[in-house]
Amino acid sequence: MTTILETDGERLLVAVRALLADKGIASMAEIAERIAVTDRASPAQGARMVARAWTDPEYRALMLRDGARAAEAMGVPMRGAPPLGVLENTETVHNLVVCTLCSCYPRAVLGYPPFWFKSAAYRARAVRDPRGLLAEWGTVLPDAMKVHIVDSTADYRWMVLPRRPEGTAGWSAEQLAAIVREGDMIGVTVPTA
């Protein structure tokens, strides 16, 4: 007899999906919709939120108060997703997000985590040697800048609202969104014009 660990993934998916439907837990259509939502999520969604926060003070306030509502306001489906907290980088504080326990990540707004986010090296070094780690990303912070390392361990998911770079005055939200990268919203890098 084949154990669950040895079973072909596709056959296992078909079997589990049929069981969930038979037991009335989730229909085939609901599962297909959730897979589609998950596949559509990408850093471009978070980048659109960041760009709007840079150009719309009311939206920025909403984003810092309730990240999930701010995501929904941009058309990102958040039903069933964990609460989203947004950490604002300022002139004095730089935020860095890590999940030392596993791989908690704001997938609804950033998509699948990059491979290194789950690596033991990133998880260990982000909390132990954040400035050394940032320097390897080319992110050198002034000594006076405080680093807040946010270890995402439980029911919230966290994204960083980076500072708007100089040289972007008068840019449209689309232009601004195009310079915001995944790493800027995790906090390993900062956007540049």
Partner 1 sequence: MTGGDFAPGASVRVRDDWPEARGPAHIRTPHYVRGKPGRVVRRLGEFPNPEDLAFARPAARVPLYHVAFDPAAIWPDAKGGDELLIEIYAHWLEASP
Residues recognised as catalytic: 99, 102-104
Q: Verify binding: residue 67, partner 1, rule CB under 8 A.
A: no
Cβ contact 137:189 at 8 Å: yes
Site membership for partner 1, residue 107 (CB under 8 A):
no
14 is an interface residue for partner 1 by CB under 8 A: no
How much of the chain is in helix, strand and coil states, percent to nearest 5? 45, 10, 40
The CB-of-54 to partner 1 minimum distance in angstroms stands at: 23
Tokens 């964990």 -> residue:
82
* 131 part of the interface to partner 1, by CB under 8 A: yes
Selected range binding partner 1 among 10-18, 42-50, 147-155, 173-181, rule: CB under 8 A: 147-155
**Can you tell me the distance from the alpha carbon of 131 to that of 126, in angstroms, rounded to the nearest whole number?**
8
Span from 17-25, 52-60, 67-75, 148-156 in contact with partner 1 (CB under 8 A): 148-156
Lookup: tokens for 96: 């860095």
19 belongs to the binding site for partner 1 (CB under 8 A):
no
CB of 145 to partner 1, least distance (A): 9
135 lines the binding site for partner 1 (CB under 8 A): no
Q: Is the dihedral of CA 112, 118, 124, 130 positive or negative?
A: negative
> Are the beta carbons of 93 and 148 closer than 8 angstroms?
yes
Taking the least distance from each CB to partner 1, the nearer of 44 and 147 is 147
